[in-house]
Amino acid sequence: MLQDMPDHPRGARSGRLAGKVAVIGGAGSVGPGWGNGRAAAVLFAREGATVLLTDRDKDALENTADQVRAEGGTVRTDLLDVTEPDAVQAYFTETAARTGRIDILVNNVGGSRPGGAVELGLDDWESQLRTNLTSAFLACKHVIPVMRAGGGGAIVNTSSCSGLRWTGAAQAGYAAAKAAVIQLSRVTAVQYAPDGIRVNTVVPGQLHTPMVEARLAGQRAGGDVAKLLAQRQARIPLGFMGDGRDTAYAALFLACDEARFVTGTEIVVDGGMTARCD
């Protein structure tokens, strides 16, 4: 029982993240429903964190913030393109000065483009690396000094099952970048463990997030959302599709003090998809 384990501290207020300051990148959503970032923002706020949300889409960002406020959560929003080095550095410098510390970082920015090594243009390849990998690198680069000064923290990076195996479509840039996110997390975890900084990765599978309707159905099923959902669900042994809330719950565990002995590893959230052979 947790109440019998005083070495697992909890904040003075209720909630697994009570008293924590959490930065969540990519907290908007491309449409209605539970994207990974939006779900993490609402869930972390429910668990007592002050959530500092960033996105480059003002309307999507404010929509998420409104959902947090509707539940009584404490939230601040900032427009930020996490692929711009100077902007990312300035954001973390200003945020640390404003809040005094950052306890949690969730790197959630990402997006895929179709195409294998032959079909994918060089510009798209570089864009995929910048969006999915460099964004996480830059955020880690500038939050780690803040966390070190504060005595530690937790970083949760978001990868994809496409970084582990073929998931039904050629998307070489996305897959390569998301695989690299996992190794970035592992290397960073080992290097900064003596500073009390834990770094882990959530690896979502084929979830039903707003991205399905907004982009993926057009890329892969001629705009037929039902067809794409059926194709994706057929790959999942559990027989149903999760959504961004499933990713958020995994991120919550990795971010909270209950995971104090967990670093340099991954939680795969895919209904068993990557475990099957076919």
Specify the pLDDT at position 277.
74
**Catalytic residue of the set 91, 174, 192, 249:** 174
Q: For residue 254, what are the CA distances in angstroms to 33, 64, 93, 134?
A: 23, 22, 24, 22
The reply to whether 174 belongs to the active site is yes
Give dist(CA 80, CA 25) in Å, integer. 9
Beta strands 50-55 and 75-79 are parallel
Encode pLDDT of 183-230 as tens digits: 999 999 999 999 999 999 999 998 887 776 756 656 666 777 788 788
Specify the pLDDT at position 128.
98
Tell me the whole-structure pTM to 2 decimals: 0.91
Give dist(CA 35, CA 218) in Å, integer. 18
Specify the pLDDT at position 231.
83
Give dist(CA 47, CA 180) in Å, integer. 30
pLDDT over 70 (residue 52):
yes
Q: For residue 268, what are the CA distances in angstroms to 51, 202, 222, 258?
A: 24, 6, 29, 18
Amino acid, res. 53: L
Give dist(CA 201, CA 269) in Å, integer. 11
Query: Which residues are within 8 A (CB) of 40 and not within 5 positions of it... i.e. 6 or more apart?
Result: 24, 27, 106, 108, 244, 247, 248, 251, 252
Domains of the chain: 17-207+243-266 (3.40.50.720)
Report residue 155's pLDDT band, with 50, 70 and 90 as the boundaries: very high
Q: Cα dihedral angle (107, 135, 166, 209), rounded to 10 degrees? A: 50
Quote the DSSP letter at residue 117: T
Specify the pLDDT at position 103.
98
